[in-house]
Amino acid sequence: MSESSHTTTSIDCYCGRRAVIRTSWMNENPGRRFLSCLNYKDGGCGYFHWQESPLCDRARTIIPGLLRKINRLDDENKKLIENKQNLEEINKKLIERNKILAERNRNLVQEKKKMRLMLVIIPLGFSLLWMILSKMNFGSKSAGLEMIG
Ligand SMILES: [Zn+2]
């Protein structure tokens, strides 16, 4: 007899403990409740009484199919929960990766700004240097001419 939870009653079983109500999930008696010893799973004292009359043929045919369907859906649900957890893990890793890439991007943008500034400063510096040198050169040429003349 397959069952999961149970309810304690005021009836004593053969070994003097409170008997419990359980639900059968076997194909012959799906959902049918029975009274048994608390230690039923381990054999117990053998106390056993059906609480309800047998199911009709229709219920005996339909209920096991529905139970199999429920079990299949439970299995699918477990897999979906597992997949969801895996996707959440992947998502966390991607968020971390995205943060790193965003930081790299910020650094590259800063580098780009520096490079642009250098592209302005260096030609300006060369221009200024050229102007200074050409003035000095011009000055020395004119000084040389003065000496010759
Ligand atoms: Zn017992």
Q: Which range in 1-15, 19-33, 60-74, 83-97 is most confidently predicted, on average pLDDT?
A: 83-97
- Residues 48, 67: one domain? no
> Residue 33 Cα, ligand 1 centroid: separation in angstroms?
17
> Residue 48 Cα, ligand 1 centroid: separation in angstroms?
9
How far is Cα 84 from Cα 95, in angstroms, rounded to an integer? 16
- Residues 51, 70: one domain? no
Residue that is last in its domain, among 30, 55, 80: 55
> Residue 53 Cα, ligand 1 centroid: separation in angstroms?
23
User: How many domains is the chain partitioned into structurally?
Assistant: 2
> Residue 2 Cα, ligand 1 centroid: separation in angstroms?
18
Amino acid at the residue 123? P
- Residues 36, 77: one domain? no
- Residues 28, 85: one domain? no
Per-residue model confidence as pLDDT tens digits over 32-53: 999 999 998 888 899 999 999 9
- Residues 38, 64: one domain? no
Q: Quick one: which of 64, 57, 6 has its CA closest to 31?
A: 64
- Residues 63, 32: one domain? no
> Residue 23 Cα, ligand 1 centroid: separation in angstroms?
17
Q: What is the predicted pLDDT for the residue at 5?
A: 77
The pTM assigned to this predicted structure is: 0.53
Q: What is the predicted pLDDT for the residue at 48?
A: 94
Tokens of 30: 């799906």
Specify whether the CB–CB gap between 63 and 55 falls below 8 A.
yes
Domain that holds residue 30: 1-55
How far is Cα 86 from Cα 108, in angstroms, rounded to an integer? 33
Q: What is the mean pLDDT of residues 121-134?
A: 92
- Residues 65, 116: one domain? yes
Specify whether the CB–CB gap between 18 and 9 falls below 8 A.
yes
- Residues 84, 145: one domain? yes
What are the beta bridge partners of residue 6? 22
How far is Cα 3 from Cα 130, in angstroms, rounded to an integer? 97
Looking at residue 44, the DSSP 8-state letter turns out to be: T
Instruction: Name the residue with tokens 């968020």.
Output: 95
- Residues 104, 144: one domain? yes
How far is Cα 102 from Cα 22, in angstroms, rounded to an integer? 60
Q: What is the predicted pLDDT for the residue at 142?
A: 55
- Residues 133, 145: one domain? yes
User: Mean pLDDT over all residues of the chain?
Assistant: 89
> Residue 25 Cα, ligand 1 centroid: separation in angstroms?
21
- Residues 47, 82: one domain? no
- Residues 122, 63: one domain? yes
